[in-house]
Amino acid sequence: MVEFLSGENEACGRLLLRPNQSSGWRANQRFWIACLLVSGSVAVYWAIQGLLLILAFAGLELLLLFWALHRVSRDCYRQELLELTPETVRVLAGHEGPESEYCYQRYSTRVKVEREKRVSGERKRLWIYCRDQKTEFGAFLTEPEKTEVLRHLQRMVDGYRQRYLARDGSVLTSGV
């Protein structure tokens, strides 16, 4: 999901990037409880028949399923914030709050799209470059969402060029 939050003018703004949350934690808990009931019933039946080892394997299976559901659910709550101001480009990433932050000088920052060939088709990777540093962003987005991010970024870059750059490419100091 891509959410655009406008800034002080057309050259500034914030892009909030989140993955698709197809099911929430409550739905995952319900699914796990349903699996627990079915697997537990089968395990108890076979344990009564004399196969006690099945209880350990059923428990291990349910533990592994719970761990996987928790990991997937946590990854669904990840988010990234791209903030463009006249002077800086900030990238904040994390789950419940900012866990990593990258700050670059806007004039020296470039966005690059790398295309990867895969068996299932082509995949875009979005990168922010500033001098010798690079940061990937939006890796969890779908291809249409990445295109939407690029459209918003292009609009802000065009606004920046019109508002803050002179015709010769130097940075204007008035109006900043």
Residue tagged 């709550």 (tokens) = 77
Q: Which two tokens stand for residue 12?
A: 């500034």
* pLDDT beyond 80 at 164: no
Please answer whether residues 98 and 92 qualify as being in contact, where contact means their C-beta atoms are separated by less than 8 angstroms: yes
pLDDT band at residue 167 under the 50/70/90 scheme: low
Whole-prediction pTM: 0.74
22-58 confidence digits (pLDDT tens): 778 889 899 999 999 999 999 999 999 999 999 999 9
Partnered with residue 15 across adjacent β-strands are 4, 82
Q: Minimum mean pLDDT among 4-8, 30-34, 172-176: which range?
A: 172-176
Query: What is d(CA 95, CA 46) in angstroms, rounded to the nearest whole number?
Result: 42
Question: Strand pairing of 79-84 and 13-17?
Answer: antiparallel
Of 39, 60, 65, the C-alpha closest to 47 is 39
* pLDDT beyond 80 at 173: no
- At residue 122, the pLDDT reads 82
73-130 confidence digits (pLDDT tens): 888 888 999 999 988 999 999 987 888 999 999 888 898 999 888 777 788 899 999 9
DSSP conformation class of 170: P
Please answer whether residues 77 and 140 qualify as being in contact, where contact means their C-beta atoms are separated by less than 8 angstroms: no
Task: Pick 2-20+80-164's CATH classification: 2.30.29, 1.10.1740, 1.10.1060, 2.60.120.
Answer: 2.30.29
Q: Where are the domains of the chain?
A: 2-20+80-164, 25-76
- At residue 118, the pLDDT reads 78
